[in-house]
Structure 1
Amino acid sequence: MHQRQLGTVIRAARCAQRMTQAQLGRACGYSASAISRVEAGLLRPAEQPLLLIARALDLPRDAVSVGAPATLARDVIPDQEDAMLRRQLLVAGVAAAGAGVLPSTAIAAGRPDASSRIVGALYSPEASAPTSVRQLRTALALARDQFTASRYQDLGDSLPSLLGTAQATREAVSGRAREEAHACVARAWVLATELALKSHSDIAWPAADRALAAAQASGDPVVQGEAARVLAITMRRAGRPAAAVDLLRRTADALTQTPDDTSRAVATTLLMTAAYTAACGQRRGDALDLMAEAELAVVRLASSGPRPRTQLFTVDATSAQADLYWIGVHTALGTPDEGVPYAARTVPGQLPTAERRARYGTDCARMWHSLGDHRRTFASLRFTEQVAPEEVRRPALRALTADLLYAPVTVAGVRELAARTGVS
């Protein structure tokens, strides 16, 4: 088996097990960077570490063809067999994760799911020519604009090419430029993870893993914080809220040691995400404490004067954003009535992007649904549809629409919304 084939097997199995490179490394006595080299086809482990890798990933012995000595694979040339293996592993990995590439949302709506278009970029990236880091940043900014405008179909179209170009550029440069290219690669994978999370797709796990690996290589603490955030959300979705809170807490603490406001702003967004994650795990005390800490951090940031908004990537650190998180925290804790005052005082126009305004509508819909108010639930869903039409096609919102459609109380307009979003 070629080193690159072996790396593909190990990466696919690791992602299916939802392990990070660091976790796998600890299981076999390797560092995270060594595991990264193994998965890239640059290093073949000796027999004993390879057996430990296979055991940790629940792989049969013959799947990794143990027994070959460690070598650097500088002359590995991908061939048709290698490409076929990647495709087979991808199909097997998606099946093992229990999620199809095209979720029911996309099938019901009669259009492909945007996140499915990044599948190829995970294991068989587009062959792309490198560009300058400056042009790469421009392309990344355009992709970020697509996400914040909730234009997920457009983002799904552009991401494979962006990821291919970003990775080709990273391999073509060195020194400081390479670190900057690593940051661009990380942020492209952050967007890919965000897109997959919107669709509740298991593609989010390997995408978040790629984001964090590139962020760590960049050496930029802000980018590392952004990548840690999406990885933690993925961990929460996988039923590991305690580990996710721990990751967010540790990353936020590290960022607060950096003197610049941008790092502290990202740390604040991590605290808010940690609070909601703790609430999802029914850790009420932790959730309330983390939100109180985040609110205090927001006040301190505001007192330090204005900062460039463009430096933060997908979530901002403002009082309006804190109120938005309070709604979600109280709903998750089973006290949605305590979220109502925050919803009432939030001015959606103060939220900086269509994606965040849609999140306000989504969280209000969940809050009112928990309180049994069908009409206000529908009004919140309609608001979400108005500010971000693609948002209401997400699985979570389609489930809310279905609940309204079959509720004992008839709400005018629900049947039409269900038809527009593919619920009925």
Structure 2
Amino acid sequence: MRRRSFFALGTAGIGAVAVGSGPADAAPPPGPQGGDPLERALFDPAPPVRLPDLAAALTRARADFRAARYDRLRTTLPALLSGAAAERDATSGIRRERANAALARAHVIATEVAVKDSADYAWVTADRALTAARACGSPVAVGEAARVLAITMRRSGRIASAVHLLTTTAADFDGDDSANALAVRTSLLLTAAYTAATGGTAGAAHALIEQAQESAGRIPHGLAGELFTVEATAEQCALYRVGLATALGDPDAGVRHALGLNPARLPTAERRARYYTDTARMWDALGEDRRTYEALRAMERVAPEEVRRPSVRAITARLVHSPVRLSGLRPFATRTGAFTA
């Protein structure tokens, strides 16, 4: 991997403005071909967007993702994706590298949203994220893009290939003790550990999460790196241990980690929602319907849009048919789209 200084795309100190001149939250008019605006943006032409505007739009998109405002992202990301691609194609030299860096991170966020929606075009956004990241020469961007591509690979059953991509990319950061390098390495190893767990390889999963824990512990105090959608912290490692245990078919082992982790210490609504998602899956696997429902209700309080994800709705739908009487479950299932009367 080529190593060079990372171009900061305005993740701090830049005002949150939307791409284009219209209102930030205004939905683009539907195209004549219909369909998902985010998916269409991957193929529709658009005018270039200047680098400062791309940086500001990325700042806003990152904030929206971390706050679990996915409906807003589905509205604003199309202009960001198509505008960044057009700017990249219209420029050269350092401006082109910077446009590629913006394009990579825009596609990382788009992939995160597509994965939450269980959308097939996550493959396209993830592949484009990695292509743009490699073109811009930023190791941080390459690491972030490799992580979301591996997630799409895992979800399609390509477990071994996903773990290989994650671990080989993480190895590119060996020997680099900067906060950013350690943060990327940690996030890659955490995802690799969970991916290995979904494939049933317990030894590899536990070894990888221990490596991630060690890497996170070497990040200088007060610095968490500049990753775009996740943080590399001790709390993050504990959170992954919950999901890892459930994926390995041993949810009892996850209970200790879940009860020992205060979700309020997780820095974003998206991560706190992930805690409740993982604990809901854990309690569901243990047959604890009431605790499963409590986790889902807590998720709705911190990130209402998360409970409408297909994978979360599936848990709610199962509870609807549970013999345990759960107060308020039917209205909850109805408003989250898991049940229709």
Normalising by structure 2, we get a TM-score of 0.87
Shifted more, 342-351 versus 275-284: the winner is 342-351
Could you say which residue in structure 1 is the equivalent of 2:158? Answer: 240
Match of 1:340 among 255, 271, 285: 255
Count of residue pairs brought into register by the alignment: 308
User: Offset at 1:259?
Assistant: 4.3
Could you say which residue in structure 2 is the equivalent of 1:40? Answer: none
Could you say which residue in structure 1 is the equivalent of 2:287? Answer: 372
Shifted more, 345-354 versus 277-286: the winner is 345-354
1:298 is the counterpart of 2:200: no
Contiguous gaps of at least 5 residues in structure 2? 1-31
Match of 2:307 among 381, 392, 399: 392
User: Offset at 1:129?
Assistant: 3.4
Partner SS, residue 315 of structure 1? coil
Counterpart amino acid of residue 307 in structure 1: L
* Residues 189-204 of structure 1: pairs in structure 2 closer than 5 A: 189-204=107-122
Aligned partners of 1:190 and 1:230 also within 8 Å = yes
Determine which structure has more spread, i.e. the larger CA radius of gyration. 1
Could you say which residue in structure 2 is the equivalent of 1:122? Answer: 42
Counterpart amino acid of residue 118 in structure 1: L
1:289 is the counterpart of 2:204: no
Counterpart amino acid of residue 263 in structure 2: P
Provide, for residues 119-171 of structure 1, a one-character-per-residue CA deviation record: whole Å limited to 9, x for no partner: 1112224x22331x233111111011111111111001001111122122223
Counterpart amino acid of residue 47 in structure 2: S
- Structure 1 stretches of 4+ with a deviation exceeding 6 A read none
Could you say which residue in structure 2 is the equivalent of 1:78? Answer: none
Aligned partners of 1:222 and 1:255 also within 8 Å = no
Provide, for residues 226-284 of structure 1, a one-character-per-residue CA deviation record: whole Å limited to 9, x for no partner: 00000000000011011100000000010234342201111101100000000000000
Could you say which residue in structure 1 is the equivalent of 2:233? Answer: 318
Higher relative contact order (CA 8 A, sep 6+): 2
Counterpart amino acid of residue 119 in structure 1: E
* Residues 264-283 of structure 1: pairs in structure 2 closer than 5 A: 264-283=182-201
Aligned partners of 2:176 and 2:182 also within 8 Å = yes
Could you say which residue in structure 2 is the equivalent of 1:149? Answer: 67
Aligned partners of 2:224 and 2:233 also within 8 Å = no
Distance in 2 separating the partners of 1:118 and 1:241: 27
Normalising by structure 1, we get a TM-score of 0.70
Partner SS, residue 173 of structure 2? helix
Provide, for residues 70-97 of structure 1, a one-character-per-residue CA deviation record: whole Å limited to 9, x for no partner: xxxxxxxxxxxxxxxxx99xx9xxxxxx
Aligned partners of 1:269 and 1:315 also within 8 Å = yes
Distance in 2 separating the partners of 1:307 and 1:170: 31
Q: Which structure: greater helix fraction?
A: 1
Aligned partners of 1:272 and 1:322 also within 8 Å = yes
Aligned partners of 2:182 and 2:218 also within 8 Å = no
Distance in 2 separating the partners of 1:313 and 1:364: 24
1:171 is the counterpart of 2:89: yes
Aligned partners of 2:48 and 2:84 also within 8 Å = no
Match of 2:138 among 214, 220, 226: 220
Distance in 2 separating the partners of 1:228 and 1:153: 25
Q: Report the identity percentage.
A: 51
Counterpart amino acid of residue 331 in structure 1: T
CA RMSD, Structure 1 to Structure 2 (Å): 1.6
